[in-house]
Amino acid sequence: MFFIVSLLFLPHLLRANAENCDFFQGSWVFDEPYPTYNSSICPFIEKEFNCLRNGRPDHLYLKYRWQPQGCDLAKFDGRAFLQKFRGKSILFAGDSLTRDQYMSLACLLYTSVPGTNYNMTREGLISTLKFLDYGLTLILDRNAFLVDLVPEKIGVVLKLDSVAGSEKLWSGHDLLAFNTWHWWGYKGAQQPWKYIQIGTRLLKDMDRMVAFETALETWAKWVDTNVDPAKTTVFFLGVSPSHYKGSDWNQPQVKNCAGQTRPLPGPTYPGVLPPALAVQKKVLSEMRVPVKLLDITTLSQLRVDAHPSFYGAATAAADCTHWCIAGLPDTWNQLLYNLLY
């Protein structure tokens, strides 16, 4: 009898604890009904994330559910989301990890009402997806640094103290989801700027972590000045980890994520947390507008199996930076969904 009563009450206890629950501490559990949707009916997945279509042979990676330690997450309910955001506008701005998250959200919504009318258009770096039956607009701003990157006579300038080029695009939405980090470390041929500018100072280079923090503060100031938290919910996607060094997860013999078919056990990751995450947390903690951090670093570090590797955009090099869709970004969006309410 005692056992039956305990079992009956357990879900309530879990829910009762939800307020103090850290959604981002937990482990991945095998869950046979996963994935929650059939990605082959989602029309929005770019080739580099479309692992199944690209022939990825192992499918176990699709079958894991994130289980926080002290509570349960609500399932992502696409229809409820579409109702809640009927007639509204959502903007994602960030690098290709944000693009990953954006496409996952588009698929989560579309597959909840397959066949619903949509219109997807792209102009330059901006994609706009309209769910016509709901009047919901999802915008993607491909914007790796968030601060302005401006082609000038002297070359491309990264302006750490300006988001003037984005202000108009970022204004007037009901939900904003930002991210930046990945591109701040690039040097040489991969670095897309020639100079860094702060005020009137033009620099050839500087400490990248300081540059990153300066830019984040510029972004934060814009949000604090321009966003009305009563109308707009703001999210920030934390550092999405890459897997190019097996010694980070106690497999020193492997050099990347290729061939990984299941998550690491957790709840902790053997490697360190990226220092950029501490910078993000610091800047967010000093803001006036509450910004919800999707603190997905550790839970994503555990997913050595969830990258496209050779089943992404190219087959020459393993992509251990992005994530397959369906896959891990669906959990990022499930966490976003749980933090909305």
Ligand X SMILES: *[C@@H]1O[C@H](CO)[C@@H](O)[C@H](O)[C@H]1NC(C)=O
Length of the chain: 341
Q: Which of 20, 121, 190, 285 binds ligand X (CB under 6 A)?
A: 121
Q: Are 169 and 141 in contact (CB under 8 A)?
A: yes
Q: How far is CA 108 from the centre of its chain?
A: 14
In the residue annotation, 307 being an active-site residue is answered as: no
Q: Six-digit token pair at 189? A: 């041929």
**Considering 96, 104, 300, 309, which one is annotated as catalytic?**
96
The backbone torsions φ and ψ at residue 311, rounded to the nearest 5 degrees and listed phi first, read: -115, 40
Q: Considering the complex, state which of residue 115 and residue 265 has its C-beta at the smaller distance from ligand X.
A: 115
Asked if 133 is part of the footprint of ligand X (rule: CB under 6 A), the reply reads no
Q: Six-digit token pair at 52? A: 């199944």
In the residue annotation, 247 being an active-site residue is answered as: no
Q: Six-digit token pair at 338? A: 């749980």
The least CB distance from residue 121 to ligand X, in Å, is: 5
Burial (CB count <10 Å: 0-12, 13-18, 19+), residue 257: buried
Amino acid at 328: L
Asked if 60 is part of the footprint of ligand X (rule: CB under 6 A), the reply reads no
In the residue annotation, 322 being an active-site residue is answered as: yes
**Considering 100, 300, 322, 330, which one is annotated as catalytic?**
322
Q: Considering the complex, state which of residue 51 and residue 215 has its C-beta at the smaller distance from ligand X.
A: 51
The least CB distance from residue 42 to ligand X, in Å, is: 10
**Considering 100, 148, 319, 330, which one is annotated as catalytic?**
319
Q: Six-digit token pair at 176? A: 């904003």
Q: Six-digit token pair at 143? A: 């914007």
Asked if 119 is part of the footprint of ligand X (rule: CB under 6 A), the reply reads yes
Q: Considering the complex, state which of residue 58 and residue 152 has its C-beta at the smaller distance from ligand X.
A: 58
User: What binding mask, one character per residue, do residues 27-46 give for ligand X by CB under 6 A, x or -?
Assistant: -----------x-xx-----
The CA distances from residue 234 to 100, 182, 221, 228, 289, in Å, are 18, 20, 13, 10, 8
- Total of chain residues touching ligand X, rule CB under 6 A: 5
Binding site residues, ligand X, CB under 6 A:
38, 40-41, 119, 121
Which residues form the catalytic set? 96, 319, 322
